[in-house]
Amino acid sequence: EWGYSPTNGPDVWARLFPQAGGARQSPVDICTSIASSDSNLEMKKLTFAYESQSDLRILNTGHGWKVEAPQSGSRLEGGPLGEDIYQLEQFHCHWGETSAEGSEHTVDGRAYAGELHLVHWNTTKYQSFAEAAQHPDGLAVLGVFFDVGNESNDEIEKIVSTLSEIKFKGQFTDIPDVIDPTTFLPSGLGYWTYLGSLTTPPCNECVIWIVYKEPITVTEEQVTYH
């Protein structure tokens, strides 16, 4: 089973998952000095529209939590996504042992306490998430960094408050509260974008990454759960 130790971590994933040795692997360190601002991105504004949903299923994946949120009524489009429309499939989180680390992307070498991924797939071109994940423009993932501060995030609390029920890998439960994914996004909508991959095996090179510049604030407890 793949993981993050020296014997099963990213350096050996390519033995079992060939794409992990590819040319557009994620995560990356975002070097802000060489990131170029693309004027047409301003012209094609990135727009998103989500539904609020209750009774979403949350799963312990063994590497964090994942909320299954297939939303046929959601739309992510514009910005780097060309003319295609992407639909929300799931969102999940990466965090670390301490709040000094945990994000997958880093910014000028700096890691954040954690990182939320909102995973979407291209419904204009493909018929399913699984099919989309086989194509270079199949998925669009919004990444939001977590900063640790004194205010807790109410939406994240609705999720973290269920984790005591799914202590072990493979367990799942329902989140009774209504969740609106829009509330996970920072107020500042500036982002970096690049063509990359799934950050975990099978590491398919199918993701258009959109990483927001502004982190959202959560409390230490909300992001060092284990």
So which residues are the catalytic ones? 63
Q: How far is the CB of 37 from ligand N7S (least distance, A)?
A: 24
- Residues 6 or more apart whose CB falls under 8 angstroms from that of 179 comprise 52, 53, 54, 56, 67, 69, 155, 158, 159
Listed ranges 95-103, 176-184, 185-193, 198-206: which one lies at the site for ligand N7S (CB under 6 A): 198-206
Asked if 200 is part of the footprint of ligand N7S (rule: CB under 6 A), the reply reads yes
Residue 198 engages ligand N7S in binding (rule: CB under 6 A) = yes
Which secondary-structure segment (H or E) carries 211?
strand 207-212
Handedness of CA 86, 90, 94, 99 (dihedral sign): positive
Residue 103 as a binder of ligand N7S (CB under 6 A): the answer is: no
Select from 66, 105, 117, 120 the one that contacts Zn ion (CB under 5 A): 117
Give the separation between CA 174 and CA 57, rounded to whole angstroms: 4
C-alpha 20/C-alpha 8 separation (Å) is 13
Distance of CA 169 to the CA centre of its chain: 19
User: Which x/- pattern, by CB under 6 A, does the window 42-61 give for ligand N7S?
Assistant: -------------------x
Residue selected from 141, 144, 208, 210 as contacting ligand N7S according to rule CB under 6 A: 141
Q: Which residue is nearest to ligand N7S (CB)?
A: 61
The answer to whether the CB of 71 falls within 8 A of the CB of 88 is yes
Where along the sequence are the contacts to Zn ion (CB under 5 A)?
117
Where along the sequence are the contacts to ligand N7S (CB under 6 A)?
61, 63, 117, 119, 141, 198-201, 207
